[in-house]
Amino acid sequence: MSPELARAESLIRSIPDHPSPGILFRDITPLLADADALQATTEALVTPFAGTFDVVAGVEARGFILAGSAAVVAGTGLVPIRKAGKLPRPAASVDYALEYGTATIEMHDDLPAGTRILLIDDVLATGGTLDAGRQLIERLGYVVAGISVLFEIEGLGGREVVGDVHTVFRSA
């Protein structure tokens, strides 16, 4: 691991019992505030997929931030995947389970059929959010070129749900 990535990883804080008891929340805001750490992690999210995607999709909310940075680094556009009710005209939606409840995400259908999308989110835990994002992209006729996350919490089964996913950092 490069010194820049090691520093970036050291900036991720673990917050116990947030947003509910028993959940260990990974706070990436210190990493986002550090320009070098953000640059290093953004490059690490995108580099394995260079040349294989047309746009980047980010899952609300922290995935937006990372996907926006990734789109700039890759020279592509950004597609937001939003929580239910946030888009003015959602084309499709998918319901999914979280570690602490259920949710729905939605996406527009503004891209040509077959567009290759790199799906990015902040954390892979149980895999529900990323699996829903993948389903949403495919339901709209697009191709998932890859899935990339900043942080994987191993042992929660997310990789078994999502399948092939690139992670920058891992934790037990």
Q: Is residue 62 annotated as part of the catalytic site, yes or no?
A: yes
Where in 28-89 does DSSP place strands (E)? 55-59, 77-83
| Distance from C-alpha of 55 to C-alpha of 116, rounded to nearest angstrom | 7
> What is the pLDDT at residue 99?
62
Q: Which two tokens stand for residue 73?
A: 């680094």
| Domain covering 51-171 assigned CATH 3.40.50.2020 in the classification | yes
Task: Reply yes or no: is the peptide bond before residue 8 cis, omega within 30 of 0.
Answer: no
| Distance from C-alpha of 130 to C-alpha of 126, rounded to nearest angstrom | 9
In the numeric block, the tokens 């550090």 are attached to 34
pTM greater than 0.85 (yes/no): yes
The per-residue pLDDT string of the chain (172 residues; one tens digit each, 9 = 90 and over) reads: 899 999 999 999 999 999 888 888 889 999 999 999 999 999 999 999 999 999 999 999 899 999 999 999 999 999 999 999 999 887 899 998 776 678 899 999 999 999 999 999 999 988 999 999 999 999 999 999 999 999 999 988 999 999 999 999 998 6
Options 9, 26, 62, 152, the catalytic residue: 62
- pLDDT single digits (tens) 32-64: 999 999 999 999 999 999 999 999 999 998 999
Options 7, 99, 138, 139, the catalytic residue: 99
Q: Is residue 60 annotated as part of the catalytic site, yes or no?
A: no
